[in-house]
Copies of this chain bind each other. A is one copy, B any other.
Amino acid sequence: MISKSRIKQIQGLHNARSRKEEQLFIAEGEKTVKELLEQLPSGIEEIFATSEFLEKEGALIRKSGVLFSEVKEDELSRISTLKTANKVLAVCRYFDVKEKVGPNDTSISLFLDEIKDPGNFGTLIRLADWFGVAVVFCSPGSCDIYNSKVIQATMGAFIRVKVVYTDLSVVIKENNFENVYGAVMNGANLYQENLGPGLLVIGNESTGISIENLKLLTRSITIPSHSSNGTESLNAAMAGAIILSEFFRKIKI
């Protein structure tokens, strides 16, 4: 049984302002909670799980020493952010992630400029994890990393990727990036460019990189299309996947 006031408090975490005030967020689903238990148990404030999850993962939970409560499915769906609650929900504390390598060395960092779709945002974090991106900087108007849909889409990568919200001009000034690349419509051919360490800017899904941030780019790159009738661009996450892949092929392989 969860108390009414506790239910209300957890429901509060469904919106960004309460999350920020309480410095808490929700992570849901078996896979995500298991990753938290294994990799960052100190980040978990409390776990709410069905008997089914507790039977299966009891040993892991006990080993982690994390506080947990057994709940019925209808209780879980009251605190869940999902249409269909999924066996377990963890209330977690905001936490810091170390950057992979400093932004001044041979690494690549990302800047997400007003990425608004939680699925795209989470997927880009997942890609950043895969490619060992040093830091993901985001414009202040981008998605909240602690939005539960974002957490879900990262597939656990939120535990490992450092995310920082700040303006592009500040990022560039503080980190002294030599190269600031931007993914745009009419830039240089991605595959033919000599790419080095630096910062890669990916723009909003419909409006692209903002006009003021375009001025801060030192190099503009484009993924060439082979479509016979390419009226449509790739989405932000796919473009991110292709460009990061090419960066890491050129820098690290």
Chain A: residues with CB nearer than 8 A to chain B?
Answer: 35, 39, 100, 123, 126-127, 129-132, 155-157, 160, 189, 191-192, 223-232, 234-235, 237-238, 241-242, 245-246, 248-249, 252-253
- Beyond A129-B227, A156-B232, A191-B249, 19 extra complex contacts between A and B, CB < 8 Å: A100-B228, A123-B235, A123-B238, A126-B232, A127-B234, A127-B238, A130-B225, A130-B226, A130-B227, A131-B226, A131-B227, A132-B225, A132-B227, A157-B232, A160-B227, A192-B253, A226-B252, A238-B238, A241-B241
Q: What chain B residues lie within 8 Å of A229 (beta carbons)?
A: 39, 160
Q: What chain B residues lie within 8 Å of A130 (beta carbons)?
A: 223, 225-227, 230, 234
Q: What chain B residues lie within 8 Å of A131 (beta carbons)?
A: 225-227
Q: Are B253 and A189 in contact (CB under 8 A)?
A: yes
Q: What chain B residues lie within 8 Å of A228 (beta carbons)?
A: 100, 132, 160
**Identical copies of this chain, number:** 2
CA distance A123 to B238 in the complex (A): 9
CA distance A223 to B132 in the complex (A): 13
Q: What chain B residues lie within 8 Å of A39 (beta carbons)?
A: 229
Q: What chain B residues lie within 8 Å of A242 (beta carbons)?
A: 241-242, 245
Q: What chain B residues lie within 8 Å of A225 (beta carbons)?
A: 130-132
Q: What chain B residues lie within 8 Å of A252 (beta carbons)?
A: 226
Q: Are A245 and B232 in contact (CB under 8 A)?
A: no
CA distance A100 to B39 in the complex (A): 47
Shortest distance between the CB of A118 and any CB in chain B (Å): 13
Shortest distance between the CB of A34 and any CB in chain B (Å): 10
Q: What chain B residues lie within 8 Å of A189 (beta carbons)?
A: 253
